[in-house]
């Protein structure tokens, strides 16, 4: 069977690793796999055999610019998409497995027109966020918006990813997505949590079958991994509180870590992985900032070095970093009312209310005292 994955990246970050690991598994079963991706030229060497680039860096930048001006994310990159579809026709996939098709690299209307032209082709779509069934945003629980259940309009999150600066076309976007993404033959949706599956069943995608498959990690990599991390950063005798994210903002809990830094004493230190250079320059002295890394062994070493892992994200459809930390032998604390709560209960973690005092007290009373590592 010829299998074609489509995702924003290949072999890096959470969704890129998920696609690559699926391709490895299916290849071992005798299938032919390719991963079509749109962003970032870097692909780990072992996954380059799968990689097919859809867009160029220039095309991604132009797509992003047009999206900001016209609030039209996913409706540009027409030339790149047409070229990719010609290649896909020659590859002739028996199964197309979609992942993130947002990210300024592909035209979703042209893509789904091609998919619908092949009614015998199997289609799977793993949803990693909510962008598919909204008129603009990829998450909405932070602002408690429920317009997506009926019809998006006047988006309260126009200025967040995919950021718009002028027009608000959330109403039109909602209608165009609904038209494009419904009435596809042989399509199954996959979500990484029951929490996200329940949202899908309230959206215009409700008529598709939905299967919950938890994201998996490579336990040969994410396991207790000793290192000199603490020594290198001069924190051998301190209680280390760790946070990891691909992108840090208020929704991911950056503000909560800053508040937490004002509460902890000098015997404790916070380490945050995935910050930008600009974010690192503005940190208080008891927060160690580290830029994003694609080196999974290094990440496993950092997870292992920590006394506790904290995921204070307020919008999460799974929480892969939480599972990675637990697999490395580190206790994890997550917030209620996201998929992280479900994941913590499944893999073993502590769930607290979305409240900085509850978070602080849990760190002090449950993790520091237990010294569970």
Q: pLDDT for 285-318, tens place per residue?
A: 999 999 988 788 999 999 999 999 999 999 888 9
Which CATH number is correct for 229-368, 3.40.50.720, 3.20.20.70, 3.30.70.600, 3.40.50.2000? 3.40.50.2000
Query: Is the pLDDT score of 242 beyond 90?
Result: yes
Contact between 99 and 9 under an 8 Å Cβ cutoff? The reply is no
% of the chain surpassing 70 pLDDT:
98
Confirm if 48 and 147 have CB atoms less than 8 A apart.
no
Q: Which of 83, 137, 76 is nearest to 109 (CA)?
A: 76
State pLDDT tens for residues 37-46: 999 889 999 9
C-alpha to C-alpha distance for 364 and 239, rounded to whole angstroms: 10
Taking the C-alpha atoms of residue 52 and residue 339, their distance in angstroms, rounded to an integer, is 32
**Architecture of the domain spanning 2-212:** 3-Layer(aba) Sandwich (3.40)
Beta carbons of 211 and 225 less than 8 angstroms apart:
no
In this prediction, residues 330-334 reach a mean pLDDT of: 96
| pLDDT number for residue 53 | 98
Q: Calculate the average pLDDT of the chain.
A: 95
pLDDT in tens, 179-233: 999 999 999 999 999 999 999 999 999 999 999 999 888 899 999 999 999 999 9
Torsion, CA 334, CA 335, CA 336, CA 341, rounded to 10: -20
User: Could you give the count of Cα atoms lying within 13 Å of 27 in the half-sphere of its Cβ?
Assistant: 14
Q: In the chain, where are the structural domains located?
A: 2-212, 229-368
Residue 337 corresponds to which tokens in the numbers above? Answer: 């009312």
Q: Where are the alpha helices (DSSP H) in 292-372?
A: 296-305, 320-327, 339-347, 356-362
Q: Which one, of 238, 257, 241, 240, lies nearest residue 249 by Cα? A: 257
């Amino acid at each position: 069977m010829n299998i074609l994955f489509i995702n924003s990246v290949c072999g890096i970050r959470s969704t890129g690793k998920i696609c690559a690991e699926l391709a490895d598994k299916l290849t071992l079963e005798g299938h032919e796999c390719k991963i079509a991706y749109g962003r970032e030229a870097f692909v780990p060497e072992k996954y380059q055999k799968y990689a097919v680039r859809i867009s160029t860096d220039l095309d991604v930048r132009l797509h992003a610019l047009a999206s900001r001006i016209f609030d039209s994310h996913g409706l540009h990159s027409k030339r790149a998409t047409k070229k990719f579809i010609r290649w896909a026709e020659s590859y002739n996939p028996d199964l197309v497995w979609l992942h993130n098709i947002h990210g300024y690299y592909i035209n979703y209307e042209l893509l789904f027109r091609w998919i619908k032209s092949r009614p015998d082709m199997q289609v799977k779509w793993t949803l990693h966020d909510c962008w598919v069934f909204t008129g603009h945003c990829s998450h909405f629980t932070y602002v408690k918006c429920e317009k997506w259940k009926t019809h998006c309009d006047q988006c309260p999150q126009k200025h967040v990813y995919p950021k718009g600066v002028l027009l608000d076309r959330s109403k039109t976007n909602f209608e165009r997505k609904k038209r494009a993404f419904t009435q596809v033959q042989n399509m199954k949706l996959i979500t990484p949590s029951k929490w996200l599956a329940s949202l899908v069943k309230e959206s215009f995608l409700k008529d598709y079958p939905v299967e919950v498959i938890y994201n998996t990690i490579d336990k040969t990599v994410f396991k207790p991994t000793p290192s000199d991390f603490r020594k290198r950063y001069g924190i051998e005798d301190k209680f280390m509180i760790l946070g990891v994210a691909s992108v840090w903002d208020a929704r991911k809990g950056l503000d909560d870590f800053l508040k937490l830094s004002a509460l902890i004493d000098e015997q404790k230190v916070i380490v945050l992985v995935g910050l930008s250079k600009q974010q690192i320059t503005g940190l208080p002295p008891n927060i160690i900032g580290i830029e994003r890394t694609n080196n999974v062994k290094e990440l496993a070493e950092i997870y292992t070095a920590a006394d506790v892992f904290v995921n204070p994200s307020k919008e999460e459809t799974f929480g892969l970093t939480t599972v990675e930390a637990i697999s490395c032998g580190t206790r994890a604390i997550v917030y209620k009312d996201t998929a992280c709560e479900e994941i913590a209960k499944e893999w073993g973690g502590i769930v607290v209310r979305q409240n900085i005092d509850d978070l602080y007290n849990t760190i002090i009373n449950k993790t520091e005292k237990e010294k569970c590592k």
